[in-house]
Amino acid sequence: MMFNKIIFLFAVSIFTIIKAEEICKNGSDCLNNGVCNVEIKNGIKESYCSCPQNFHGKKCQYRRCTNNPCQNNGICESFGRSIKCHCSKFYMGDFCQYRKATACDFMECGNGKCILLADSLELGMCECNEGFRGIHCSIVEACKLDSCNFRGECISDGASSFACKCDQGFTGDFCETQIDYCKNHTCFPGSKCINELGYKTTFSVNIS
């Protein structure tokens, strides 16, 4: 039994190594003697490069600078007596010192914040705080969770006011009052009216 377990673990290890090699071959080809490795992110196997000391970058394609003058997480590449900064998508300039303009720089989101869409600098939208809506989060959302006391549907007029459409058995501007169906109901002798939630009914009961 122990021998079979050892064989099984050995087979799993060989399979894992083969799968890792396949991912590295089909994924990133590491340069400058970089070593391809495999890691799991969100349940998906991805390859990455472990670079030698003098190189860095996604594929170890950049020679490392002695001193890195690049700002805002820019990657410095050395060419002997000269260097070049590779900037992230949000920055530009010789040393990545300037931030690029994005759609959010031109959007007013008074009661919210601007978020970029589809990983793009040109597309953005306002994400509104609770209680506000609209393209610029400028419209007060009149309906709250308890606007109608959990006894009806809140209907907004699109501005700052609302009306309640009450569930059966309730009335009032905010559905705050339960309807008493027995108030104006006359029962036959020997019976009494029982007010049940949502409808009117009479029960014949012995009251003697």
CATH number for position 112: 2.10.25
Average pLDDT of every residue of the chain: 80
Q: Per the structure block, which two tokens stand in for 121?
A: 């600098």
Does residue 20 sit in the same domain as residue 69? no
Does residue 42 sit in the same domain as residue 10? yes
Domain limits for position 73: 65-100
The reply to whether 55 falls in a domain is yes
Q: Which of 7-11, 19-23, 68-72 has the highest mean pLDDT?
A: 68-72
Does residue 9 sit in the same domain as residue 48? yes
Q: Is the pTM of this model over 0.85?
A: no
Cα–Cα distance measured from residue 91 to residue 107, given in angstroms and rounded to the nearest whole number: 19
The reply to whether 208 falls in a domain is no
- What pLDDT score was predicted for residue 166? 92
Model confidence over 125-177: pLDDT tens digits?
A: 999 998 788 899 887 777 877 889 999 988 877 666 788 999 988 999 999 99
Domain end call among 91, 112, 140:
140
Closest CA to 199 of 184, 186, 180: 180
Average pLDDT for 55-76:
89
Secondary structure (DSSP) of 94-146: TTS-EEPP-GGGG---TTEEEEESTT-SS-EEEEEPTTEESTTS-EE----TT
Q: Per the structure block, which two tokens stand in for 28?
A: 């990133």
Does residue 179 sit in the same domain as residue 190? yes
- Check which CATH number belongs to the domain holding 169 and give it: 2.10.25.10
The reply to whether 173 falls in a domain is yes
Would the pLDDT of 105 be above 90?
yes
Question: 24-38, 68-82, 137-151: which range is least confident on average?
Answer: 24-38
- What pLDDT score was predicted for residue 172? 93
Does residue 56 sit in the same domain as residue 6? yes
- What pLDDT score was predicted for residue 180? 85
- What pLDDT score was predicted for residue 158? 62
Helix (H, G, I), strand (E, B) or coil at 158: coil
The reply to whether 145 falls in a domain is no
Does residue 173 sit in the same domain as residue 192? yes
Does residue 58 sit in the same domain as residue 69? no
The reply to whether 147 falls in a domain is no
Does residue 94 sit in the same domain as residue 108? no
Does residue 118 sit in the same domain as residue 96? no
The reply to whether 39 falls in a domain is yes
Which residues sit opposite 164 in a β-bridge?
Answer: 154
Does residue 93 sit in the same domain as residue 42? no
Number of CB atoms found within 10 A of residue 50's CB: 10
The reply to whether 75 falls in a domain is yes
Question: Look-up: residue for tokens 């609209």?
Answer: 134
Does residue 12 sit in the same domain as residue 50? yes
The reply to whether 146 falls in a domain is no
Does residue 32 sit in the same domain as residue 71? no
Please give the tally of structural domains in the chain. Answer: 4
